[in-house]
Every structure is written in C-alpha cells, then in structure tokens.
Structure 1
Amino acid sequence: MSTQARGLEALVDARKGEYGGGSTRVVAVTSGKGGVGKSTLSANIAYILARHGFRVGIMDADIGLANLDVMFNVRAEKNILHVLKGEASFEEIVLPLEENLWLIPGESGDEILKFSDATIVSRFFDEMEVLENLDFLIVDTGAGIGDTIQMFLKAADDVVVVTVPDPAAITDAYAMIKVISKIKERVLMVVNQVKNAKEGQKIFDTIRKVAAENIEAPLELTLLGTVRNDSYVSRSVKQRVLLCKELGNIGVAGDIEAIAVQLGEKKERKMLDEERESGIGNFFKKLLGQF
C-alpha cells in the first residue's frame, strides 16, 4: 500500500464516528456482458427494499452508460464527480425518488479515481453525512471485467452477478465470477429472462459446477433468484416507469421482489459477510484508496 493510501485509510478510520460507521450494506450489481437487464434489476430491487422500509441509495456507476436517471424519469444536473471537485455538495446531487429511496448520480470511475488526495477526500466525507443513515447502497456497475469495474466490486460488501440464458452471456458471467473470485470469497447470482425457475436453476448449477472444477480460490456461489422473461419489462423501460411500482401484481415483479426480500432478510440477520466491516464510508475509503 502506498503512503498516500495509508494516509487516506488513517483519515477515514479517524473520522469513522462522524459519518455513522458500518450500518450501510453496499451491494454492487454487475454482469459479464451488457444487455442482461442489470440496471432494470438494480432499480427495481432498490425500489422494493425502500417499499419494505429500508433506507436505500442507488448509485449509477455504469461507466459511460449512466442511465438510472432516465429509468427513474428524473434529471440529474450534477453527479458525484462534482462533489469531489468541490462544485456541489452531496445534498445537492442526491435526488429523492420515492419514500426511503434516493438516486446518487454517478460518473466514470476513471474520473472519480483521479480525486484521491487527503484534502479532497476530507471534504468529500464532510459532505457525505446526508447518506449516513442508509441501510443499503445499490451500486449499478458497468458490464465486463475492466479494472475500474473491479475496483467498485472490490470496495463493495456484496457482489451480485446477473446473467441470462444466452450462451455468450453465460460464458461471460463465468469469466466475471472467475475474476471476482480473486477478490471475493462470496458471489451472489441472478439469472434473468428465464422461461421458468427450473431453467434458471439449471443455468446456475452449470456455472457453479464449472466454477468448482476450475476456480482454485475458495468461493461460495449462491443463487439469489431467477427472473422470468416478460415483455412488460422492456415496455416499462421505454416508458420510464418502474415495473415493480406500476405492475407489481405480475409474475416478473414477484420474482424481483423475492430477490429484494432475500437481501433485506440477510441484512437483518447479518448473514452477508458479517465478519467484514461495511458502510458508506468504508466503501468510499476502499474505492478511493485503490490507486
């Protein structure tokens, strides 16, 4: 670890009590390839968690393709990069979406990671108290195994890999899991756009078997849930409405709700990697410390 990184870590540790410590669970949602419904799932999971009473922030970290503001039908004038530059406060960029739900507009991870000196980070934490009471921060990352995406995954408490039945997507999901296994001992999976739960389970079992045979690092791979294919999903995206809000009574919305409920229950029982320190401050400490 560099001297600068150690200085950053000491700064954050010293100020831990000021920003609320480790109550927030940071969940990064990622995929091996684009077009698997990752952002749609992130948005709807965040909405359901909020509806169940959790205080949820959702951060757009899909580099170059940030679109959560479009999905929530809001306009983000500034983002997290403006906070790091001192051009805005967290309070100015955080957009309230629903009761208990806030959007944190993101920016290219490459740009964010340019702002890592102690003075900037100190100011960053001064502004961050508006987020200190969150129960969850859902981070919608980009697709693929690029270095910047790996930084977000490493900094998160939990990683959810999304795939679909397409053979190329399955291959890319396995490649993603193999990379993640070098930085995480636990990976959660969602198989999206399946005909039924049986198909999703079969795909997961295949990936888990290949992983067990080829990945040497200790890895606990868990199926968080499966989501049925439904034309209403793409329709809701085009209409800029949340599926689980507008059509909460259809089957696919029930599938997504079951996934969100699992995350909520695991947090309440402290079953998700409970031995590790979590929290908003710790997430940004690890993210900004990777230089």
Structure 2
Amino acid sequence: MADQAEALREIMRQNPQVGKSRTRIITIASGKGGVGKTNLSTNLALAYAKLGKKVILMDADLGLANVNVVLGIIPKYNLYHLIRKQKTMKEIIMDTNYGIQIVAGASGFSKIANLSEDERQNFIKELTELSSADVIIIDTSAGVSNNVLSFIAAADEAIIVTTPEPTAITDAYGIIKIIATEVESMSLGLKLIVNRVKSVTEGKKVAERVINIASQFLNLRVDYLGYVYDDPVVQQSVLKQKPFTVVDPKGKASACVHQIVSRLEKVEYKEGGGIGQFLKRLFGAQG
C-alpha cells in the first residue's frame, strides 16, 4: 500500500490540476438488481448538467454495463480497452446529445483487484483525465463486490437505491451493513433514495425503516435523500432508450430527480482533493 500511495503522490505532482480539483464524486449502488439504479444514475447526471455542471457518468459495472443502453448509445470503446492499455481515457470518453459525457463500462471484465501493477498504475493515470469535471457520477454493479465497496469508499458521497419491495429493503440494509463493517473510513456521506414509490408517505416509511435499523444496529447515520415516483413514463423511456427526464421533463419522476439534485447541491460536503483524493481512497483500499 505504501508503494501505491507513493505512486499516487508522484502522479499528483505531475498533474497539478488534480490537487486543485473541486470535482464532486458520487457513487451510486444498490443491494440488488432491478431497483432502477442505472436509470436513476443516468437521469441524475442529466439533472446536474441542467444546472450548468460539467458531468461525467462513469459506468463502473465491470460485468454487465448498461448506462449506454439507457442512453441508446453504442460505444466503440470502453473501460476494458483502457484497462488493457489499448486506448486512453480521451479516446474512450464519449460526448452525448444530452449534455453529459460517459465512460462506458467493461462488460465481461471481472475485478479491478485482478489488475497487474502496470495495468493498475495506467488506470490511475488515466482516471486523472476526469479531473476537469464538476461532478462524476459512478454507477456501480448491483450487489456487493470488492469493486463496489472500493468505489463507495473512495467517493465523496455514496447513494444507496432501494424500492418499497421487502427484498429490496432487506438487500439495501445488507449492503449498508457490509459498508459499515468493510469500509474503514465512513467520513463519506451515506444517503438513501427510495425508487418507485406510490406516495410520499410510502417513501418516507421505507426510508425510516432502513435508517432506524442502521442507526440502532450499526451505529451508522444514513440520510434520506428523497424518493422517485413509480411513473409509467420511466418504463416507456427504457423501451425508447431515452432518459425519462428527456421523454417527460415535467413528469412526476423527473420532478423527483431534479428535487434530489437540488437537495444534494444544498448538502454541505467537504471539498477534498477531487480525483487525487478519490484515487488514494480507491486504490489504497485495495492495497
């Protein structure tokens, strides 16, 4: 780990912009699949862009990448090509018609932890190219893996997505419990979004249940960030491969997403070293 830390410091010395970065890094995760995490990540990115932010949406699912599917985009290159040193970050990052840039996930790739030292150092160096962004939203794979925990531990804030379904609530608590036990530093803000709610009351009840259990049994604070209505437009947008905030900008689900971003912007958080600090946490956790 000491060697990795020294390598990171060397990279930061060679990239002065990194140390001055105010990039806000938000990791989005879920205890199980099918809760709408990727769809939510994508629309949160678009809502941030509407505020005039430079946003990069990174698909960190190294098994089944889906961000490009939600956007109806076929990427020529992805993280696999970057990790294997076949392409650079500048070559794989994609502009979109939605005012954001995306880094496509590497379908079929297993673990960052399996990278050779040369591949890992190259990955670190390439990630510093993202430091010009105001916000980086990282969409992780569903469930708990070393990759997911690493991206959660490295972010400024982690958002857990659940739905009112009993299995989703149980799995949301499960991932929060693992974060509490596996992530050494819980200085990051851990937040909860309840997706596909029928009412404001339903969202609040689900959130209170998860938050109270986390507080009582894990001694861990989880903040309720908000809810997203179960809006038929969301499913329609998936079929159209267009973000629901674009398909129906004034719809119930879209309004919820914009409210969540507004709440995030008002939440006070520490402006650390941006990408540099993110990399220290990400790879320090795997040393």
**Superposition TM-score, scaled by structure 1 size:** 0.88
The equivalent of 2:199 in structure 1 is 196
SS of the residue corresponding to residue 62 of structure 1 reads coil
The equivalent of 1:151 in structure 2 is 150
TM-fit CA distance, 1:245: 1.2
TM-fit CA distance, 1:209: 1.4
Shift in alpha-carbon separation, 1:10–1:260, aligned structure 2, 3 A: same
TM-fit CA distance, 1:131: 2.3
SS of the residue corresponding to residue 106 of structure 1 reads coil
TM-fit CA distance, 1:232: 1.3
**Distance in 1 of aligned mates of 2:164 and 2:279:** 34
For each residue in 1:240-261, what CA deviation from the matched residue of structure 2 results, as whole angstroms up to 9, or x when unmatched? 0111012011111101111122
For each residue in 1:28-53, what CA deviation from the matched residue of structure 2 results, as whole angstroms up to 9, or x when unmatched? 00011110000000000000100110
**Distance in 1 of aligned mates of 2:62 and 2:91:** 21
The equivalent of 1:221 in structure 2 is 222
**Distance in 1 of aligned mates of 2:146 and 2:128:** 29
Deviates more, 1:166-175 or 1:102-111: 102-111
Contact 2:42 2:57 in 1 (8 A): yes
Shift in alpha-carbon separation, 1:140–1:122, aligned structure 2, 3 A: closer
Which runs of 5 or more structure 2 residues have no equivalent in the other structure? none
Q: How many residue pairs get matched?
A: 281
TM-fit CA distance, 1:202: 0.9
Contact 1:83 1:124 in 2 (8 A): no
Shift in alpha-carbon separation, 1:110–1:286, aligned structure 2, 3 A: farther
Shift in alpha-carbon separation, 1:35–1:278, aligned structure 2, 3 A: farther
Residue identity over aligned pairs, in percent, reads 31
Deviates more, 1:93-102 or 1:194-203: 93-102
SS of the residue corresponding to residue 132 of structure 1 reads helix
Shift in alpha-carbon separation, 1:190–1:120, aligned structure 2, 3 A: closer
**Distance in 2 of aligned mates of 1:147 and 1:111:** 8
Please point out which of 210, 215, 218 is paired with 1:212.
215
**Distance in 1 of aligned mates of 2:195 and 2:163:** 5
Alignment of 1:47-196 (within 5 A): 47-98=46-97, 100-107=99-106, 110-115=110-115, 117=117, 121=121, 125=125, 127-128=126-127, 130-182=129-181, 183=183, 184-185=186-187, 186-196=189-199
**Distance in 1 of aligned mates of 2:92 and 2:278:** 19
Deviates more, 1:128-137 or 1:242-251: 128-137
**Superposition TM-score, scaled by structure 2 size:** 0.89
TM-fit CA distance, 1:91: 1.3
TM-fit CA distance, 1:235: 1.3
TM-fit CA distance, 1:130: 4.4
Contact 1:194 1:228 in 2 (8 A): yes
Shift in alpha-carbon separation, 1:45–1:249, aligned structure 2, 3 A: same
For each residue in 1:164-204, what CA deviation from the matched residue of structure 2 results, as whole angstroms up to 9, or x when unmatched? 00011101111111222242243100000011111101111
1:246 partner amino acid: V
TM-fit CA distance, 1:62: 2.0
**Distance in 1 of aligned mates of 2:19 and 2:5:** 21
TM-fit CA distance, 1:264: 2.8
TM-fit CA distance, 1:105: 1.2
Shift in alpha-carbon separation, 1:119–1:245, aligned structure 2, 3 A: closer
Contact 1:26 1:278 in 2 (8 A): no
TM-fit CA distance, 1:152: 1.3
The equivalent of 1:250 in structure 2 is 251
TM-fit CA distance, 1:16: 4.9
For each residue in 1:263-287, what CA deviation from the matched residue of structure 2 results, as whole angstroms up to 9, or x when unmatched? 2333xxxx12x1x624123323432
1:96 partner amino acid: D
Shift in alpha-carbon separation, 1:120–1:230, aligned structure 2, 3 A: closer
Deviates more, 1:236-245 or 1:141-150: 141-150
Shift in alpha-carbon separation, 1:98–1:67, aligned structure 2, 3 A: same
